[in-house]
Each structure stands twice: as C-alpha cells, then as structure tokens.
Amino acid sequence: MTDFRGSGLSRRRFLAGTAAATAAASLGMPGIVRAASDTMTVPNSGGALEEAYKAAYFDTFTAKTGTKILGAPYMDTARIKAMVDANAVDVDAVNIDFAEAAVLAKMGLLEPIDYDIVDRKALEGWAANEHYIVSDVAGTVMGWNTQSFTPETRPKGWAEFFNEAAKPGQRSLWKLAPQTMEIAALGAGIAPDKLYPLDLDAVFASLDRIKPHLTWWTSGAQSAQLLTSGEVDVGTSWNGRLFKPKNDGAPIDYTFDQCIFTCDAFIVPKGVKNKKRAMEFLANLVEAKNQAVFAQHIPYGPTNPEAFALLDAKTKALLPNSPENGKTAVLQNVAYWAEHGDELFGRFNKWLVG
C-alpha cells in the first residue's frame, strides 16, 4: 500500500470517553451534501482502503439494489457527535475505527444493528456488536530492519523486545496509549488472557526498561520509515504499513506473532434518514464472498470466518487473523478503553513528560 488508510490519517485513531464530547462543541458540521435518493453516502478513510471497499461492498451493493455508493472523508467521533446532536445526519453508514465505534456506542449516538436484516451468525461473535459491525482486522506487529536482525535473531516476543540487554538495538513504539500499553503489558510477561484490566505498574515498568533506547512514532508512515531507514532496529507498526515496503524490497520484515488485532467497523449514526437501507448495506458487507474480495485487495482479514475458505494460501499468508497467523494474537478490548480511556491516557501522557 501507498497508504492503506488514505493520506494524512494514522492507521488507528482514538478518542476516549467524554473527550470526544468536549471536542465536538468546537467543530463545525462535516458539510457532506446528500445527492439523489438512489445514492448512499459512506464516509471512510479513503485511499486504497476505499478502493477495497468499493470492489467488495460498494459495487456489489449497487449491483444488487441499483443504489450508488458515494464516498466521503473520514468522520471521527467528535464530528459524528456534532452531526447527531444537531439532528443533521446526512450520511447513511460510516467506516470508523472500532475503538471510536465503542466510544460512540457508549455515548448513545448509534442506531442498533438490525440483526433481522444483518446475518449475525455469519460473523465472529466479537465482531457482531449491538451498535456496530467489525468489518476487518489489522495487526499491530513487531517489525525489524533486516540489516539489524533476521527472523532467527530478532526479539522473540514482546518480553525480549523490552529486554534491550538481551537483544541490543534502538526500539520504536507508537506515542499513544492504546496498543502501546497492551504491548508493554505483554512485555512484562502478562498472559494474553489476563491482559485486561491492564496492570499499569507492569506497563510502565516495561516502558522504563527501554526508555533510553526508545524512539517514538506518531504516524503509520513514520513507523515504517524509522525501520526502513535503519534509524531503529526493531519497532511496532501496522501490518498494512509494512506490507508494501517489504514487497518493494526495503530492508524490512515483520511477524504476526503476538500481534494486537485492531479493526475497522461500520456504524449507522442515530437519526439516519433510511435505516432499513443502511442495514441492507451492512448485510451485504458481512457476506463471505464480499469479505473475501476485500481481503484480496488489501491485507486486512475478514470477520466472516467462511471467507477464508474462498482465499488462496498466498492471500491468507498476508492476513493477521488467518488461521496460520492469528494463533498468538490478542484482540484489543475497545470497551475497556471506552470505559477507562481518560485515566489511561492521563497516566501515559504523564509518564511521557516525566
């Protein structure tokens, strides 16, 4: 990918708790103009991700119904809140990070999913939320510069990542609490099934251990550039960010071992003009054949397990949650972040400046 999320967007965007409500008050409306009644407007992250959505979901829905799908710029939590609060919902369904979807659901800003229309049983249980559909799975992975490490010599798991003495080299992490704190907890030896609630003392003990050897990144593009340039030897990134440079011959590799699943979701804002049609769009999205088309266009995995049977081995090898790659992964608990985000962000940000 050049940018699997579209230019200017981080791979994962997050607003925790009531911070979104405060920000919304200062924002104007998104300014999306609805076209004719035979169209739907679906904001999304753009770029190659929108191209994959178009092939898998937009065009197939148009073929079924005659309704054309219009893309629109990504709408974050604050903008959706402003739109719903003003009773001015001019979109039909929205692609959004599933952490933001959890926040919006907690704030009561989403229509419940009509599972009489959407096939709930088609999805993994955790992907069929009361107020949102998880549509695809990305991975926060460990990547390394191949001039510093090989697959055999790289840190084996997050415990060795946080042990610079055992595996010397400069590290990099995302300068944001979500995902980074989970990885630090795993680095402290906490079992994946005991990860939540996060043991904050263990998290910051891990971070303290590598602080002198740590470079922060703040965008997906930067996470990949630090590794390809050799400025850092090993670090975190999103698999979609490392896929293209690796394929293009950059000195970079990565593993899905102990990756953190971070996902995209689709939501229907409260007050949507045509709720039934929005649910029919989501019903099309969960079909196995369409999710398989999506995974063939971009290396993010499906949430309908039957889609894997429709994919060849080469494609499945690129997907974080394929049966081969997902055995040791951890699904990020976004409900936990929606509930405790203010506290977690506060302590993380205090540590950064300490």
Question: Residue 354's pLDDT band (boundaries 50, 70, 90)?
Answer: confident
pTM: 0.86
Instruction: Read off the pLDDT of each residue in 207-234 and give the average, rounded to a whole number.
Output: 96
Q: What is the model's pLDDT at position 23?
A: 40
CA 23 to mean position of chain CA atoms: 22
Question: Residue 37's pLDDT band (boundaries 50, 70, 90)?
Answer: low
**More confident: 34 or 298:** 298
pLDDT tens digits, one per residue of 182-196: 999 999 999 999 999
pLDDT tens digits, one per residue of 158-185: 999 999 999 999 999 999 999 999 999 9
**In the chain, domain spans:** 19-137+263-325, 138-261+333-353
Instruction: Read off the pLDDT of each residue in 117-145 and give the average, rounded to a whole number.
Output: 98
Locus of tokens 């998290």: 203
CA 158, CA 206: separation in Å to the nearest integer? 10
Q: For the chain, where are the alpha helices, taking DSSP H only?
A: 19-24, 47-53, 59-65, 77-85, 98-106, 158-161, 177-187, 200-210, 220-229, 239-247, 275-285, 288-297, 313-316, 334-353
328 bridge partner residues = none
CA 80, CA 84: separation in Å to the nearest integer? 6
Closest CA to 99 of 271, 353, 331: 331
Q: Percent of the chain at pLDDT above 90? A: 88
Averaged pLDDT of the chain: 90
Q: What is the model's pLDDT at position 79?
A: 94
pLDDT tens digits, one per residue of 65-102: 999 999 999 998 999 999 999 999 999 999 999 999 99
pLDDT at 335 over 80: yes
pLDDT tens digits, one per residue of 286-331: 999 999 999 999 999 999 999 999 999 999 999 999 999 999 999 9
pLDDT tens digits, one per residue of 233-255: 999 999 999 999 999 999 999 99
What is the residue-wise DSSP string for 230-249? TSSSEEEEEHHHHHHHHHTT
How many helices (H) and strands (E) would you count in the chain?
Answer: 14, 10
Residues 6 or more apart in contact with residue 138 via CB below 8 angstroms: 11, 238, 239, 240, 261, 262, 263, 264, 300, 320
Q: Do domains 19-137+263-325 and 138-261+333-353 have the same CATH topology?
A: yes
Q: What is the model's pLDDT at position 7?
A: 30
Tokens found for residue 29: 């409306």
- The CB-side HSE value for 263 (13 A sphere, CA atoms) comes to 27
Residues 6 or more apart in contact with residue 346 via CB below 8 angstroms: none
For residues 337 and 262, is the Cβ–Cβ distance under 8 A?
no
Judged on CB neighbours under 10 Å (0-12, 13-18, 19+), 130 is: exposed
Tokens found for residue 211: 């602080």
Question: Residue 339's pLDDT band (boundaries 50, 70, 90)?
Answer: very high
CA 302, CA 124: separation in Å to the nearest integer? 9
Q: What is the model's pLDDT at position 29?
A: 41
For residues 277 and 66, is the Cβ–Cβ distance under 8 A?
no
Tokens found for residue 321: 């949650």
For residues 149 and 169, is the Cβ–Cβ distance under 8 A?
yes
Q: Which CATH architecture group holds 138-261+333-353?
A: 3-Layer(aba) Sandwich (3.40)
What is the residue-wise DSSP string for 263-279? EEEEE-BTT-S-HHHHH
Instruction: Read off the pLDDT of each residue in 212-232 and give the average, rounded to a whole number.
Output: 96
CATH of domain 19-137+263-325: 3.40.190.10
Closest CA to 77 of 91, 97, 53, 47: 97
pLDDT at 121 over 60: yes
